[in-house]
Amino acid sequence: MADIKNLTVLPRPRSAWQAMDAGFTLARAHYVKLVILWLGFSIPVFLACAALQLATGWSMWSLMLLLWWWFKPLYELPIHLYLSRALFSEELSLRETWKLALSHFGKLFKTYLTLARLSPARALTYGVVFLEQLPRKQRGARIDTLKSEKTRHFLLVQVCFHIEYIMAYAVITAVALLFFSDAISELDFAAYQAAVESPDSHPWLIAASMTSLIAAALVAPFYVTSGFLLYINRRMQLEAWDIEHRFRSIRPRSGLGITAIVLLAFSLSQSEPSLAEDRASSMISPVSANAIVEEILADEDFGSIETRWEPILDFDNDWDDSDLSFFDKLNGSTTTFALIAKALLWIGIAIFIMLLIHTLRQFRRPEIRTGALSRKGRDVEDAKSHPLTQNLPTDIVAAAEHLLAQGERRQALSVLFRGALRAIMEQYDLNVARGATESDCKQSIASVASQLQKNTFTRLLGVWQNEAYANQPQPEQTIASLIDEWKTAFVIHANDNTQASDSAL
Amino acid sequence: MIDSTQFATAHENLNKLRNNFGQVVIGQQQTIDELLICVAAGGHVLIEGVPGLAKTLLARCLAFSAQADDVRIQFTPDLMPSDIVGHAMFDHEQQTFSVREGPVFANVVVADEINRAPAKTQSALLEAMQEQQVSIEGETRALPQPFIVIATQNPIEQEGTYPLPQAQLDRFLCKVLIEYPSPEEELLMLQQITHESIANQLDLSRLQAVITVDDVIAIQKAASFISVDAVVQKYVVSIVTATRSWNGIDIGAGPRGSIALLRAARAHALLHGNDFVTPDDVKKVAATVLRHRVQLTPDLEIEGYTPDDVISSLLTAVEAPRA
């Protein structure tokens, strides 16, 4: 495991964008070597695929490109291994790098030449697989940890993918337009298969393959380097390499052999290549840096304690009481409002309790509950308000005799019937239902009236019903005799009541 | 018009029927009276009561006492209209279609558990009740007279039933409620029914035919001629119209309710030997005539009120004639 004290870059946390910019800068600094490392494995594979394709025929030429594309992690592995060693002060030669890459072939085939080949985070996870060398289960957890924050690796893939294929097909198109313009005009995409199999299209296929190889070689260093620095950036964030490095390396190391990597460290935060170059050109040498450090250590301020005073507000003591005068004015009103609210609350509680008691009373005593059948009007009336006793003359006998004399037998019997009822109701303080019929009235008075009154009332009802409902005119003598009986049964009692009232007065 | 002799005969025959019921039906005098009122008024009756309260016995007793044809139809969910009114069938010997009359062609039809049959079948019977005739294969046939339908329904076990719609309930003149007999009546029932009797057969041996079918028609004719004063007619209308705006009644009785109430009041007067209708007659039959014609509001139903409670309240408040 590499020691952090051998780190050749100045570690500090950067954003994903800054890390990718640094990756592009680093790739440019080592571009040629990185391209060679990439081609070292890609060309043999390309030739092998081409040979395989030549053996099977030109019709499956695109399959050759696909097979070659599938082995891209194999070509990228030397670049990654070279950068990882250079980061920790170990500069590998091309041969050593390829040799080291060969030793990782087994792991590479088991990890990246499976479905993981399609992972857009390939460049980000190379470090986990080939540097940390964690077991498979821990590797997944580690990768998840790295991806816990946005690393923008998908954007890196998109950018590199577009640059690569735009470049490839731009070259093809340019070459075709310059040298094979006639062939382009004659190309019929509907007869693509026939065109591919024709000898005339073979130069096209070769040109397309070669341009794809060249485009991939040109873009690959940027992709792998940017992915590697994304990985390093995440480790710096997670493991605080910057703090640890500062503690361990107060003094710059002398005798560093990899000056270029030191220069790279200072250029990581720069996205503009020209600015990075300026920084590199103005970079101080290790000797002059050592002098600066000695100067800083000799300074009397170094290691001293600086005391800073921060104001702390004490509202209890520092607050100006005059500022509270406004609240003092409100103090009395607030108290009044609180008292009113408190009184309203008590009133509400009292109303609630009363309603509760009322509800419980009705619930427990259904007989006092106002039923659904109850109405505003009374169903039972006394003598003064009962419909049967309304519009009756004071002197019933005189009125009946008068009506009988006029031949109004029905009206005379009606006055006698209703007058008898009123007399009994008044005499016995009896209430009768508004809808009471003749038999209801007879039943009502049965329990209170005298026998004479009941007999007279019964006979009266019979005559009245025959006259009123049966349309059977009753003899005048019968009605006259009823008037006489009425006098005996009801007038005497009426006079008694009147006399009693007079004596009381 | 009918003379006093015809009226007296009708009243006497009605009383014969009433007394004859007492030979086999123990107690249930109110039910018997209401049934006889329906018979006299020429209406149909819907009897509601739990099983075993002599609903079928009442119908059989009526038919036997009046020497009338009677039939009992057990309403079931698979009963078809043609099972009631009849149908046309092909006669192979005559090579023609002939009409086979259904059980509805009888003087007294007992529709047992009428709410068990689907609405289509119920409608077939109710049409016969209203029109007093049925149509089979386009041929109209008059039903025998008198034609009285005594339908029964069970207030419990409502699962799988088809409750009669309000419009169809309106066809019944009265809805009679049969209550449980008193303990004394039930004891008497045990002594009479179980003595020298096998199983649960209806013992009609003590009955005798007291009147004829023509007498029933005469009773109905006599009832229809009973005089009704204008104030009583107004009283009838007042009661029925009050149901339409009464607190607690959602749907009141229609005009058919007024007609039925007056017809029942006439029959009640006849039953009690009066040749005129008094407000008392109206009031006495109001509940049995109106209880199935009003629909209570949901809140009253939830609180357990019955139509009889509301009608009683209504009768207490509606002013009776006074002049």
- B132: tokens are 């007093």
Which residues of chain A have a CB within 8 Å of the CB of B276? 465-466, 469-472
Nearest to A373 by CA among B181, B310, B146: B310
Q: With contact defined as beta carbons under 8 Å apart, do A483 and A397 qualify?
A: yes
- B38: tokens are 């329906």
One-letter amino acid at A338 equals: A
Q: Do A469 and B283 touch (CB under 8 A)?
A: no
Query: Is the pLDDT confidence value at A267 over 50?
Result: no
Between A37 and B118, the higher pLDDT residue: A37
pLDDT of residue A330: 65
Q: Do B300 and A372 touch (CB under 8 A)?
A: yes
Query: Is the pLDDT confidence value at B272 over 60?
Result: yes
pLDDT classification of B264: cutoffs 50, 70, 90: very high
Walk me through the domains of chain A, giving residue ranges and CATH numbers. 4-298 (no CATH), 381-504 (1.20.120)
Residues B248, B214, single domain; the answer is no
Q: What is the pLDDT of residues A169-193, one digit of tens each?
A: 877 776 666 666 665 555 555 555 5
Distance CA A452, CA B6 (A): 37
Nearest to B234 by CA among B277, B273, B271: B277
Strand partners, A432: A381
Q: With contact defined as beta carbons under 8 Å apart, do A230 and A23 qualify?
A: yes
Q: What is the pLDDT of residues B48-60, one digit of tens each?
A: 887 777 777 888 8
pLDDT classification of A36: cutoffs 50, 70, 90: very high
pLDDT of residue A266: 42
pLDDT classification of B265: cutoffs 50, 70, 90: very high
Residues B48, B160, single domain; the answer is yes
Of the segments A238-242, A297-301, A496-500, B217-221, which one has the largest average pLDDT value?
A: B217-221
Residues B197, B317, single domain; the answer is no
pLDDT classification of A367: cutoffs 50, 70, 90: very low
Residues B61, B183, single domain; the answer is yes
Q: Is the preceding peptide bond at A44 cis, omega within 30 degrees of 0?
A: no
Could you tell me if residue B96 is left (phi over 0), alpha (psi between -120 and 50 degrees) or otherwise beta?
Answer: beta
pLDDT of residue B261: 92
pLDDT of residue A439: 83
Domain end, chosen from B163, B197, B225, is at B225
Nearest to B130 by CA among B74, B81, B169: B169
pLDDT of residue A179: 63
CATH number of the domain that residue B321 is part of: 1.10.8.80
Query: Is the pLDDT confidence value at A347 over 60?
Result: yes
Distance CA B47, CA B150 (A): 7
Any chain A CB within 8 A of the CB of B315?
A: yes
pLDDT of residue A39: 92
Nearest to A415 by CA among A381, A386, A444, A390: A390
State mean pLDDT over A402-426: 82
pLDDT of residue A494: 52
Q: With contact defined as beta carbons under 8 Å apart, do A30 and A221 qualify?
A: yes
Query: Is the pLDDT confidence value at A364 over 50?
Result: yes
pLDDT of residue B144: 82
State mean pLDDT over B14-24: 82
Least confident of B181-185, B199-203, B212-216: B199-203
pLDDT of residue B268: 92
Smallest Cα distance from A491 to chain B, Å:
21
State mean pLDDT over B174-185: 84
- A69: tokens are 């594309």
- A120: tokens are 């857009």
Any chain B CB within 8 A of the CB of A386?
A: no
Any chain B CB within 8 A of the CB of A377?
A: yes
Of the segments A77-81, A242-246, A318-322, A433-437, which one has the largest average pLDDT value?
A: A77-81
Any chain A CB within 8 A of the CB of B299?
A: yes
Of B279, B283, B305, the CB nearest to A372: B305
State mean pLDDT over A410-426: 83
Of B229, B278, B316, the CB nearest to A434: B316
Nearest to B164 by CA among B180, B173, B153: B153
Between B295 and B287, the higher pLDDT residue: B287
Residues B33, B171, single domain; the answer is yes
Number of other CB atoms surrounding residue A315 within 10 Å: 6
pLDDT of residue B157: 62
Query: DSSP secondary structure string, B161-218?
Result: --PPPHHHHTT-SEEEEPPPPPHHHHHHHHHHHSTT--TT----TT----S-HHHHHH
Query: Is the pLDDT confidence value at B277 over 60?
Result: yes
Residues B213, B282, single domain; the answer is no
State mean pLDDT over A238-256: 59
- B127: tokens are 């049409």
Q: With contact defined as beta carbons under 8 Å apart, do B238 and B230 qualify?
A: no
pLDDT of residue B227: 84
Residues B212, B86, single domain; the answer is yes
Q: What is the pLDDT of residues A300-310, one digit of tens each?
A: 776 677 777 77
Overall domain count for chain B: 2
Between A243 and A143, the higher pLDDT residue: A143
Number of other CB atoms surrounding residue A257 within 10 Å: 11
Domain end, chosen from B194, B225, B256, is at B225
Query: Is the pLDDT confidence value at A271 over 50?
Result: no
Pairing of strands B174-177, A432-433: unpaired
Q: What is the pLDDT of residues B81-116, one digit of tens each?
A: 888 778 777 878 877 877 777 888 888 888 888 888
pLDDT classification of A278: cutoffs 50, 70, 90: low
State mean pLDDT over A272-277: 46
Query: Is the pLDDT confidence value at A319 over 70?
Result: no
Q: What's phi and psi for A115, nearest 5 deg? A: -65, -20
Instruction: Nearest chain B residue to A411 by CA: give it.
Output: B323
pLDDT of residue A483: 83
Between A200 and B309, the higher pLDDT residue: B309
Distance CA A438, CA B270 (A): 18
Residues in chain B: 323
Residues contacting A264, CB < 8 A, separation 6+ = A8, A9, A22, A25, A26, A29
pLDDT of residue A280: 56
Residues B60, B107, single domain; the answer is yes
Residues contacting A263, CB < 8 A, separation 6+ = A29, A279, A280, A283
Query: Is the pLDDT confidence value at A12 over 80?
Result: no
Any chain A CB within 8 A of the CB of B279?
A: yes
pLDDT of residue A78: 92
Sign of torsion over alpha carbons A281, A286, A292, A297: positive
Residues B43, B164, single domain; the answer is yes
pLDDT of residue A324: 59
Q: What's phi and psi for B176, nearest 5 deg? A: -100, 130
Which residues of chain A have a CB within 8 Å of the CB of B280? 437-440
pLDDT of residue B196: 63
Residues B256, B206, single domain; the answer is no
pLDDT of residue A360: 74
Residues B40, B137, single domain; the answer is yes
Q: With contact defined as beta carbons under 8 Å apart, do B49 and B152 qualify?
A: yes
Q: What is the pLDDT of residues A435-470, one digit of tens each?
A: 888 888 888 888 887 888 888 888 888 888 888 888
Least confident of A48-57, A321-330, A354-363, A392-401: A321-330
State mean pLDDT over A382-388: 66
Q: pLDDT averaged over chain B? A: 82
End-to-end CA distance of chain B: 27
Strand partners, B90: B97
pLDDT classification of A502: cutoffs 50, 70, 90: very low
Which residues of chain B have a CB within 8 Å of the CB of A440? 280, 283, 320
Instruction: Nearest chain A residue to B269 by CA: give it.
Output: A470
Query: Is the pLDDT confidence value at B75 over 80?
Result: yes
pLDDT classification of A371: cutoffs 50, 70, 90: low
Query: Is the pLDDT confidence value at A158 over 80?
Result: yes
Helix (H) or strand (E) holding B249: strand B249-251
pLDDT of residue A368: 46
Domain end, chosen from B206, B225, B244, is at B225
Between A140 and A374, the higher pLDDT residue: A140
One-letter amino acid at A274 equals: S
Nearest to A34 by CA among A273, A222, A163, A261: A222
- B188: domain range? 4-225
Instruction: Nearest chain B residue to A390 by CA: give it.
Output: B322
State mean pLDDT over A75-91: 86
Residues B45, B66, single domain; the answer is yes
Q: pLDDT averaged over chain A? A: 75
Query: Is the pLDDT confidence value at A277 over 70?
Result: no
Least confident of A112-121, B253-262, B274-283: A112-121
Query: Is the pLDDT confidence value at A263 over 50?
Result: no
State mean pLDDT over B121-130: 80
CATH number of the domain that residue B157 is part of: 3.40.50.300
SS3 letters for B265-284?
HHHHHHHCCCCEECHHHHHH
Percent above pLDDT 70 for chain A: 68
- A363: tokens are 């619930």
Q: Do B300 and A388 touch (CB under 8 A)?
A: no
Q: What is the pLDDT of residues A129-141, one digit of tens each?
A: 888 877 777 888 8
Instruction: Nearest chain B residue to A418 by CA: give it.
Output: B322
